[in-house]
Structure 1
Amino acid sequence: MLKYLEATGENRDEAIENALSQLGLDRDEVSVEVLDNGKKGFLGIGSTPARVRVSYEAPDEPETIHKPVEEKKEAKKEAKPKAEKLSITTEDDTPRLVKPAPADFQPEKLEKPERPARASHEDKPRRERSERADRPRRPRRDRAERPVTPSVPKERELIPVSEECMKKAETMASGFVSGLLDKMGIENEVTVLPQTECDQLRLNIAGPDMGAVIGRHGDTLDAIQYLASLVLNNELDEHVRLSLDTENYREKRAESLERLARKMAMKVVKTHRSMTLEPMNPYERRIIHAALQDFNGVTTYSTGTEPSRRVVVAPDSRRADH
């Protein structure tokens, strides 16, 4: 228990000596806090004594439990216990009377309640190992070693479209696109391009003002193509993929995206930091993935939701040249 004592003297050292003499302790056994260094004054006028506070460790004093008056009276009455009872004291200093044990009492013969026996490992039925348990386990790879799978769409299964259906699709798509551009006040001429895939219809738009048809990064051209595809496949029994182009924009855009992809990949390899491209439609994202699928040191994946989904070019040391 930590205790304190304040003492005074003409100066600080004398006040400390006075405190030590009162306690009977050495200087090393106490901690001193100077409360006031004191003042000598002038010719004894205005002087103040020095005052210190000494802290020291003292043994803990046993706590005295004051019993109520009623308990004291009951204790006096039970001063002479009866022969058949024995007085004991519990942990909380409360007297309790119990009957003495009989003369033939044998504690080792007390009946103990039987506990249910625990089933040992040998008693537990063993699960039969399946045939899969005998197969060699595949080595476990850490999370850091798991490759980032780019969100490149899998190769589609091309379903050929009949010649009759394709002829009908050409007439419907050409008429819809031409009529829509007429409503927009854009002079146009829609022609059918040679077929490159068995389920694809390719159309080309020609005219004096195709900048308005293309729009920013091909947004207007993509929107017209999307609307025409909805109308087309809503009327046909077979699925036809529509590709709309003007002034060879699709090919020029693909070349531009491939150059952008390689440029970003070189930056990623040099800085070891991921680069996030601007939002693109699924067709343009596929161009980026395809352009960098064999580029050493980088990997690509898509993030976000449409229409703000973007391609991320990230460093990949496992694909770098050693």
Structure 2
Amino acid sequence: MLKSIEMTGETRDAAIDAALKSLGLDRDDVSVEVLDNGKKGFLGIGATPAKVRVSYEAPDEPKAEKKPEVKPESKPQKLSITTEDTTPRLVKPAPKDFVPEKLNVDKPQREDRPQREDRPRREGDRPRREGDRPRRDGDRPRRPREERPIVPSVPKERELIPVSEECMKKAEGMATEFINGLLQKMCIEGEVKILPQVEVDQLRVEIAGPDMGPVIGRRGDTLDAIQYLGSLVLNNTLDEHIRLSVDTENYREKRADSLERLARKMAMKVAKSHRSMTLEPMNPYERRIIHAALQEFNGVTTYSTGTEPGRRVVIAPDNSRSHR
């Protein structure tokens, strides 16, 4: 059964997070419809909240069983009262010194068994207080807190699955044809080149031309969109999965160096001020660069927050590490 709720918030993301929190569901379990993006107003005047409708699948409610109808009796039955029911019965009182045998009130307590607090402790008894349990032969020694291994916050790398040579050649032709068609539609003069293969499941494509600014776009948004659309075309047609990488004028490497410098600069500020800092929204590839750059940086830890496409990296102080 499909159900939905409407929720408001200062922003669209805040309204979605509030709806997911009230339902106890993840972002992938629901569909979101934006009813109103809201307005910030001027100095808070005229601001309107954002409003979204979140739909989710709920289990069907069981049908209520019909209770059998009770037919009223035509005439109430009259109770017949006899003299035996109204006659009081005399009960002989028990003597004052009478004690039932089963109670055993005066049964003396065993004197040969010591009381609980005076009983000597036996081997195997549970300790009364924390820290009093004696060490046993099979116990594993606990390492001090500072010697425990620190789990890195960077996700594990995916396993590379080799792609056959025939499938890779077919992918090269499809990617070249698709990107050339996009460049013609965008009225951009450019040439598509296939770069040497570095990883067994990756196809590297480079676009060369006199003016590649429109191809890159703002912070690489247009280049990422071309790469994303090309990946959809390849993997929806081919039988094997191929990772497509589209680059121009060595933008990917320059962007990675810029992100690493930004990550180290922000990490220095976090370690000095002991306050968390949130970076701008990034795609998964750029977030992975930030995580990897600060994996060995002492005094800080990183994690991601939010939902796509507004997911961000948070650099937070890590008290278990000390900055050099």
Using the size of structure 1 for normalisation, the TM-score is 0.57
Tell me which residue corresponds to 1:242. 244
CA distance in structure 2 between the aligned counterparts of 1:265 and 1:180, rounded to whole angstroms: 40
Letter in 2 for 1:136: D
Pairing 1:87-98 to 2, within 5 Å after superposition: none
Letter in 2 for 1:297: G
Letter in 1 for 2:139: P
User: Which whole-Å deviations, capped at 9, do the CAs of 1:76-118 have from their partners, x for residues lacking one?
Assistant: xxxxxxxxxxxxxxxxxxxxxx99958xx3442457789xxxx
Structure 1 residue 185, shift from structure 2 partner: 1.6
CA distance in structure 1 between the aligned counterparts of 2:190 and 2:250, rounded to whole angstroms: 15
Hey, which of these two has a bigger chunk of helix by percent? 1
8 Å CA contact 2:193, 2:206 repeated in 1: yes
Tell me which residue corresponds to 2:177. 175
8 Å CA contact 1:148, 1:299 repeated in 2: no
Tell me which residue corresponds to 1:83. none
Secondary structure of 1:204 counterpart: strand
User: Residue 270 in 1 paired to residue 272 in 2?
Assistant: yes
Pairing 1:223-238 to 2, within 5 Å after superposition: 223-238=225-240
8 Å CA contact 2:267, 2:315 repeated in 1: yes
CA distance in structure 1 between the aligned counterparts of 2:100 and 2:322, rounded to whole angstroms: 79
Tell me which residue corresponds to 1:281. 283
Secondary structure of 2:157 counterpart: coil
1:216 to 207, 215, 218: 218
Structure 1 residue 233, shift from structure 2 partner: 1.0
Pairing 1:151-162 to 2, within 5 Å after superposition: 152-162=154-164
Larger radius of gyration: 1
Tell me which residue corresponds to 1:188. 190
Letter in 2 for 1:221: L
Secondary structure of 1:203 counterpart: strand
8 Å CA contact 2:271, 2:323 repeated in 1: no
Range that drifts further, 105-114 or 200-209: 105-114
Tell me which residue corresponds to 1:255. 257
Identity among equivalent pairs (%):
72
Q: What residue ranges of structure 2 are gaps of 5+ in the alignment?
A: 1-89, 105-135
Q: Cα gap change, 1:112/1:172 in structure 2, threshold over 3 Å: closer, same or farther?
A: same
8 Å CA contact 1:258, 1:291 repeated in 2: yes
Tell me which residue corresponds to 1:317. 319
Secondary structure of 1:299 counterpart: strand
Secondary structure of 1:224 counterpart: helix
Tell me which residue corresponds to 2:309. 307
CA distance in structure 2 between the aligned counterparts of 1:194 and 1:247, rounded to whole angstroms: 16
Secondary structure of 2:313 counterpart: strand
Tell me which residue corresponds to 1:136. 139
CA distance in structure 1 between the aligned counterparts of 2:92 and 2:174, rounded to whole angstroms: 111
User: Which whole-Å deviations, capped at 9, do the CAs of 1:208-267 have from their partners, x for residues lacking one?
Assistant: 331111111111111111110011011111111100001111011011101100100111
Secondary structure of 2:98 counterpart: helix
CA distance in structure 1 between the aligned counterparts of 2:223 and 2:173, rounded to whole angstroms: 19
Letter in 1 for 2:216: I
Aligned length: 205
Q: Cα gap change, 1:238/1:110 in structure 2, threshold over 3 Å: closer, same or farther?
A: closer
Secondary structure of 1:317 counterpart: coil
Pairing 1:22-37 to 2, within 5 Å after superposition: none
Secondary structure of 1:319 counterpart: coil
Using the size of structure 2 for normalisation, the TM-score is 0.56
CA distance in structure 1 between the aligned counterparts of 2:179 and 2:280, rounded to whole angstroms: 28
Tell me which residue corresponds to 1:60. none
8 Å CA contact 2:306, 2:312 repeated in 1: yes
Secondary structure of 2:211 counterpart: coil
8 Å CA contact 2:179, 2:226 repeated in 1: yes
Structure 1 residue 163, shift from structure 2 partner: 1.2
CA distance in structure 2 between the aligned counterparts of 1:101 and 1:236, rounded to whole angstroms: 98
Q: Cα gap change, 1:191/1:100 in structure 2, threshold over 3 Å: closer, same or farther?
A: closer
Letter in 2 for 1:310: R
8 Å CA contact 1:149, 1:301 repeated in 2: no
Structure 1 residue 140, shift from structure 2 partner: 10
CA distance in structure 2 between the aligned counterparts of 1:136 and 1:186, rounded to whole angstroms: 70
8 Å CA contact 1:173, 1:232 repeated in 2: yes
8 Å CA contact 1:203, 1:245 repeated in 2: yes
Secondary structure of 1:213 counterpart: helix
Pairing 1:37-48 to 2, within 5 Å after superposition: none
